[in-house]
Amino acid sequence: MNNGRFISIEGGEGAGKSTSVAFIQDFLQSRGIELVSTREPGGTQLAEQLRQLLLNHHDEKIDPYTELLMMFAARRQHVTQVIQPALAAGKWVLCDRFTDASYAYQGYGRELPLEFIDNLAKWVHGDTNPDMTCLLDLDIEVGMGRARQRSELDRIESEAMSFFEAVRQGYLSRAKAEPQRFRVIDASQDIPGVEQQLQQALEGLLAE
Ligand code: Z5A
């Protein structure tokens, strides 16, 4: 059986990841592709509990390394229980955020050493990396405005604007370093405009 393809979606707050996931699901299913749609942190019962711990507000400050290790603990569980079995069964996997988010948020945002994240990524998921990553790039003020309208801000969303600007620049540096994997999507366009860019990226992947 052929291995499936692995697609991740990344971007800052309110960039439109959830909206894009719904579009990609419909598009791939209309092409007869069997798809597992999932998210990080989360994707298994245990990893979803870690997600709650990570996003809830707490009285004690969460140390940045603790935060990073919890992201990777959730990821290990998710990769071994969901992502690797799906790919091995020939299914496609669509993941709302993956390891690029750890580089962007914990590496560039919290300023943890990128080499440390490189090592964790190798240990935790080895060669299981996305074939294509759609990065929804958007001005942080616009994204925050959209996120605020939708719900109350969680622990990470309550960071300063300088943090989110570092996250955005982190994502863009990763996209620049790996242009063959990343598709940078202009998320300032309206929803049909974003969907058109996503469709183009997906058709490219299907044609490979
Ligand atoms: N995190 C981390 O730090 N390290 C890691 O390794 C991982 C994650 C994996 C959870 O992420 C948090 O975990 C996240 C990073 C961190 N923290 N923060 N902050 P998440 O993905 O669950 O949550 P999020 O970033 O907060 O996503 P979001 O706020 O849910 O936004 P979204 O999914 O990108 O946006 P949306 O819900 O699709 O759209 C937001 C609103 O805008 C909604 O009302 C839409 O209808 C509207 N929208 C969407 N697209 C458009 C366009 N094109 N025009 C106008 N309006 C639009």
Domains along the sequence of the chain with CATH:
6-207 (3.40.50.300)
How far apart (Å, rounded) are the C-alpha atoms in residues 153 and 134? Answer: 24
Nearest residue by C-alpha to atom 36 in ligand 1: 16
| Coil, strand or helix at 43 | coil
C-beta 146 within 6 A of ligand 1: yes
The reported pTM is 0.96
Determine contact, residues 16/191, Cβ cutoff 8 Å: yes
Sheet strands (E) in the chain: 6-11, 35-39, 92-96, 132-137, 182-186
CA proximity to 167, closest of 136, 121, 207: 136
**Using a 6 Å cutoff on CB, does residue 102 contact ligand 1?**
yes
For residue 163, give the H/E element and its range.
helix 161-177
pLDDT digits (tens, 9 = 90+) for 115-174: 999 999 999 999 999 999 999 999 999 999 888 887 788 888 888 899 999 999 999 999
Per the listing, tokens 């982190």 go with 170
Placement of tokens 């370093």 in the chain: 177
Q: Quote the pLDDT of residue 152.
A: 81
Nearest CA, atom 17, ligand 1: 156
